[in-house]
Structure 1
Amino acid sequence: MNTYRLMLLGTVAAGFAVMTVVPAVAGDVKKEVTLYGQVSRLVGIQDDGHSTTVNHYGNDITRSLVNIDATAESENLTIGSRFEWSFDAGLNITEGQSAAATTQTMNTNASRGTQNVRISDIFFETRYGKLSMGHGESAAMDATNSDLSGTGTAMSVAEPLSSGMGFVPKLGNWERQAGGTAAATNAGIRVADVLVRHDGSRSNRVRYDTPRFAGFAAAASHGQADVGEYRLDYEGELLDTELAAAVAMQNASASATQFERMYLGSISAKHSSGVNLTYAYSVLNQATNANQGGNGAGDAADPGSNTAGRRPTTHYAKLGYSQDFFGLGDTNLAVDWLLTADGSVGGDRAVKWGGGVVQNLDAYGVELFATYENIHYTRGSSFGDRTGTDVSVTNTNGYEAINAGYIGAKVAF
């Protein structure tokens, strides 16, 4: 049993022990059930360099969902549960969608859409911290999402609104398809494949969160397949500047076939003037002798570029300004930049530039937004099978830029 696992299991055991010191019978227990949620929709004008279309989507950054929270609270102990259910009709990217299925109109004509249980969780909370068990957020989740800009509804690290779009090879470049002909068709590579979000996840896990002290809090979780995650975050204020930051680490070495370590973090600062700055970073370390991508191998029979040691790395930066100009709620303006290197194969590079505005209507619980995204992608010089035996693999360095504009709204209730 490795050191990380011992530390994590020890933390969880300590959390259970703490809960046992709470009196089993409380004098007064207050019970409460809360229903809340949101609907988030957008319209996109999307140009992949070959054609321009208008599409109607659910917002993948902040999805339409319903939450039910139930708590039983006494003086020393709160026991509760949380259930979260998402409703996606025409999502701009579908989880688990194969790369070959990418089109600008992916899933846009769904009549019933999809439904997904995101959280089904039980928790026990005292002054010593909070212990959660069930399907919920792992400790590292959203460690790259420290963001005080007010634009997170439409501009988020490694989650472009164009995530479901596919890149089109430039005309004249040889695309190695059956017949070996060049074509202005979708290349089977999505934005989401190359602008990669490294993060924790919603999973079956046990998680312990410490109380917050002097602005700091820590968390640890153990998930299915022996995945351990650890987190430290901070919330506070310094010199008229609001601060939020988090760092996290994921250890999946016991079960990983691809990446065994993930390191991630973010920091956001917002001055009282409204000027704000956000930065996030993440990196994956590949397991020894692990292979991924291309044809799923990197041995002599299939000398792909995704051999052990590839380190997909993502940088994200955002500059923003927030002010209540109209007495309706903050107007949040921002420009952002996103870079992922080695995201899909060794040597590739994807860059996004964007800008947008999010207008809060506080009295209505509404956020209105408009954004623009420009995305460029360069494929690695070698990809997948280089032996010439697999004609299904794309082997080109030139792809058209993606340009897209979006307007949308999120209504919370």
Structure 2
Amino acid sequence: MNKYSLSALLAAGLLVGSLATGAQAADLGGDCCADLEERVAELEATTARKGNRKVSLTVSGFVAQQLVIWDDGQESNVYVTDTGSVSIGTHFAFSGKAQINSEWSAGFLLKIEAMNNDSLTVTQNSDEGPNAMLILQGGGAGVLALESAYWFLKSERLGRVSVGQQSSAADNQAILPDGSGSLVQANYVMYDVNGFVTRANGGYTGLSWGSFANCHALNGYGGAFGDCDGVPSNNVRYDTPTFAGFGASASWGEDDMWALSGRYAGEFSGVKLAGAIAYSHSSDETGTAGPGVPTMLAARNNGGLDIGHLQLGGYIEHVSSGLFFYGAYATAFNDTTASVRGAGQNNPDGDMFYLKAGLKRQVFAIGSTTFYGEYGQHNDTFTAGMFDAGINSTELEQYGLGVVQNVDAAAMQLWVAWRHYEGDVTCGAFGGCGGGINFGSNDLEEFDLVKFGGLINF
């Protein structure tokens, strides 16, 4: 992202204003200086300013919107949505840093998400999706949500410690190695269809596509399967310095959540390599799994909450040809969830994998173009509520094609993409599992979408 210092912008604006005022001094007469002072005062009154001269202040973020044409097999429509809250949607951020000495520095980040058409929460019946980040925080339906708010101390030799609401050491780790330039547009999280209701046996099931890519008890901490610890939380985090391309992180969150991760990025003989591994664990029985989902307190009655999540991601690119490949894998270790079936009755662990391959080329002078194809599969990654209803297994498949065009002069991306979703669900209850899900195997009706979008950084 391009980031611009407010002080630099203000200085540039005043310089231009001063030159223009000087050129017109003969016409303005003795009022020139008073006029300039009035302009400066007006500018200061309408400009974000630092509270002191010791800490730098940078404003950054991006605005992303897309046109989504969808078809669920029965109904079709066209929506305008954001690209999704929690890290990859429209937001603005204030960051600051102060140099204490040659070794130590301190700083902060305050990040706000802003959207009223979150792709995570739109449905067949609603084209205005409230901010999912705000819902997860218990703030109800709204537009603005606090994504991150933390301070840090950093040593060039020892690393960085940060405290506050922030990503855990595991958040997004398998996604971030993707250097294809299509990370926002194509990843394994159900950003485009999370809230849309599936169809089976000729009717709507009441189960969303997102419920087939769920994180069981870890759902209370956000994310979709593959990135289960996906929502910033109150935690303490440590990041090592980078040594020869390698780095590691650790975090601990309230009552109790912890995560570890390691990553690498480098280039050898014209080949770029990047990879990451992360593990997160939760025994926080006081959390909730979001609106309408049983609280984790039920797990305490069934023997205590004990669930972990492992994720891996890797990327390779041949620089001269532009050929690239990205892959990710995740699995859960689910010893107890909040199931009403009682002690020892747990969701399957579940796993997923996601593959993306393509080509990066300079087709147009305005910037590089990324062509990609993708395929992903989620196995038995369904919600605790579905398990309670008698569902024994699920499978969800997604695949698609897309093109992303960079516009370098505007720090912008434009894209067009097609995605297809299909799946099946197996019900073990002789009387059915509700919502039109019958005993035995049930095929979900296919869902297709085409999206045209743009993202501009500031």
Q: Sequence identity, in percent?
A: 23
Aligned length: 352
Structure 2 residue aligned with 1:41, among 44, 54, 65? 65
SS of alignment partner, residue 418 of structure 2 = strand
Whether the 8 Å CA contact 2:393–2:425 is kept in 1: the answer is yes
- Write the mapping of 1:311-350 to structure 2, written as runs, cut at 5 A: 311-344=349-382, 345=387, 346-350=392-396
- Write the mapping of 1:357-376 to structure 2, written as runs, cut at 5 A: 357-376=403-422
Structure 1 residue aligned with 2:212, among 194, 199, 214? 194
SS of alignment partner, residue 364 of structure 2 = coil
Structure 2 residue aligned with 1:159, among 190, 194, 202? 190
Whether the 8 Å CA contact 2:419–2:449 is kept in 1: the answer is yes
Structure 2 residue aligned with 1:91, among 118, 143, 155? 118
Instruction: Indicate the residue corresponding to 1:73 in structure 2.
Output: 99
SS of alignment partner, residue 409 of structure 2 = helix
C-alpha displacement at 1:163, in angstroms? 2.5
**Which one is further off, 355-364 or 54-63?**
54-63
Q: Which runs of 5+ in 1 are unaligned?
A: 1-28, 95-101, 172-183, 301-305
- Report the CA distance shift for 1:217/1:164 in structure 2 as closer, same or farther (over 3 A): same
Matched, 1:267 2:310: no
Q: For 1:402, give the aligned amino acid.
A: F
Whether the 8 Å CA contact 2:225–2:381 is kept in 1: the answer is no
Instruction: Indicate the residue corresponding to 1:284 in structure 2.
Output: 332
Whether the 8 Å CA contact 2:200–2:436 is kept in 1: the answer is no
SS of alignment partner, residue 276 of structure 2 = strand
- Report the CA distance shift for 1:360/1:113 in structure 2 as closer, same or farther (over 3 A): farther
RMSD: 2.4
Instruction: Indicate the residue corresponding to 1:103 in structure 2.
Output: 123
Instruction: Indicate the residue corresponding to 2:450 in structure 1.
Output: 405
Q: If the length of structure 2 is used for normalisation, what is the TM-score?
A: 0.72
Rg comparison, structure with higher value: 2
Greater helix fraction, Structure 1 or Structure 2: 2
CA distance in 1, matches of 2:347, 2:149: 36
C-alpha displacement at 1:320, in angstroms? 1.5
- Report the CA distance shift for 1:282/1:259 in structure 2 as closer, same or farther (over 3 A): farther
Q: For 1:42, give the aligned amino acid.
A: Q
Q: Which runs of 5+ in 2 are unaligned?
A: 1-52, 132-140, 214-223, 286-295, 300-304
Whether the 8 Å CA contact 1:144–1:157 is kept in 2: the answer is no
User: CA offsets per residue over residues 173-194 of structure 1, 9 Å max, x none?
Assistant: xxxxxxxxxxx3x322222211
Q: If the length of structure 1 is used for normalisation, what is the TM-score?
A: 0.80
- Write the mapping of 1:170-185 to structure 2, written as runs, cut at 5 A: 170-171=201-202, 184=203
CA distance in 1, matches of 2:434, 2:310: 36
Structure 2 residue aligned with 1:204, among 215, 222, 234? 234
Q: For 2:311, give the aligned amino acid.
A: L
C-alpha displacement at 1:381, in angstroms? 3.1
CA distance in 2, matches of 1:309, 1:223: 24
Structure 1 residue aligned with 2:153, among 120, 124, 135? 124
Whether the 8 Å CA contact 2:167–2:233 is kept in 1: the answer is yes
CA distance in 2, matches of 1:390, 1:325: 52
SS of alignment partner, residue 192 of structure 1 = helix
CA distance in 2, matches of 1:267, 1:246: 7
